[in-house]
Copies of this chain bind each other. A is one copy, B any other.
């Protein structure tokens, strides 16, 4: 049985690594990216390059999108020259971008009306798991579509977790990112609090990483807090955007989220301080500023 053809749109830090893993797993791959550099890098590895998202979607069975934010995905799918135009029976769209749950539900309904399959399947994990193919896929959609697409998704991920119908993958991503935003800001606040009282940053991190609060996230952020330098793994502006989606969803659901909104204040201040392109651990700089340390 022939392997279906796959298209990949959006070759940023995450997308480039994910597309490379799809290729490595042996899927015939067509790619497209707004700026041409990353597509060429994949072409060297054997991918073909499409001239536009719509051309890509027309040529392949399964189109994967990995873009940033509601606007970008809406534009590529349903904007002028949007690829949804050429989707229909026999075509599948896997949206791995992080978007608002309500928008994922809308996309799913619009594609269903055209006879195409849609999976809402954002991922948990950042640059390194993307490179190693150890992401976790948070899938929302019909169970049979999830099952059919699992082999392809597992070329990029260690695990596919089916969260419910379309929109629920995005909601799960929001749930995880709510917690992520709070933990990251909590770490910065705790370390700032102790430092103000005279504790050494290294000693605090040693204590935290020795006990029941120790986790992969804190291991990644500890060197940043020690150095006071925040090269982006997950840019603060993306965390702020995701928290905004969380807050929109929480309001629509009538669910109070006090810690998430406290965190949103801090990340918004981070944007205002010009830290949007730094790692989201740079929220520590906002707390330092408030405390008069910087």
Does chain B have a CB within 8 A of A196? yes
Query: CB within 8 A of A291: which of B189, B191, B269?
Result: B269
Does chain B have a CB within 8 A of A216? yes
Does chain B have a CB within 8 A of A19? no
Tell me the A246-284 residues at the B interface (CB within 8 Å). Answer: 246-247, 249-251, 253-266, 268-269, 271-274
Q: Mark A189-230, 1 if CB is under 8 A from B, else 0.
A: 111111011111001101110111111110010000000000
Q: Mark A172-195, 1 if CB is under 8 A from B, else 0.
A: 101110111011011101111110
- Are A259 and B189 also in contact (CB < 8 A) when A172-B204, A272-B292 are? yes
Does chain B have a CB within 8 A of A91? no
A200 to B163, CA, bound (A): 8
Query: CB within 8 A of A216: which of B185, B203, B212, B287?
Result: B212
Q: Which residues of B contact A125 (CB under 8 A)?
A: 211-212
Each complex incorporates copies of this chain amounting to: 4
- Are A171 and B197 also in contact (CB < 8 A) when A258-B266, A290-B286 are? yes
Q: Point out which of A191, A196, A254, A262 has the most chain B C-beta atoms below 10 A from its C-beta.
A: A254
A contact face: mostly helix, strand, loop, or mixed: helix
A112 to B101, CA, bound (A): 34
A7 CB, min distance to chain B CBs, angstroms:
27
A294 CB, min distance to chain B CBs, angstroms:
10
Query: CB within 8 A of A259: which of B198, B212, B263?
Result: B263
**A163 touching B203 by the CB < 8 A rule?**
yes
Q: Mark A50-77, 1 if CB is under 8 A from B, else 0.
A: 0000000000000000000000000000
Chain A residues near B (Cβ < 8 Å): 101, 124-125, 136, 138, 159, 161, 163-164, 168, 171-172, 174-176, 178-180, 182-183, 185-187, 189-194, 196-200, 203-204, 206-208, 210-217, 220, 240, 244, 246-247, 249-251, 253-266, 268-269, 271-274, 286-287, 289-292
**A172 touching B185 by the CB < 8 A rule?**
no
Supply 9 A–B pairs (Cβ within 8 Å), ascending by A: A168-B199, A172-B199, A175-B191, A178-B189, A182-B185, A183-B213, A189-B257, A256-B272, A289-B290
Q: Which residues of B contact A174 (CB under 8 A)?
A: 193-194
Q: From A135, which residue of chain B is reached at the shortest CB distance? A: B211
A201 CB, min distance to chain B CBs, angstroms:
11
Rank and list the top 5 A-B pairs by shortest CB-CB distance, nearest first.
A212-B216, A182-B186, A272-B292, A175-B194, A215-B215
A272 to B212, CA, bound (A): 28
**B273 touching A255 by the CB < 8 A rule?**
no
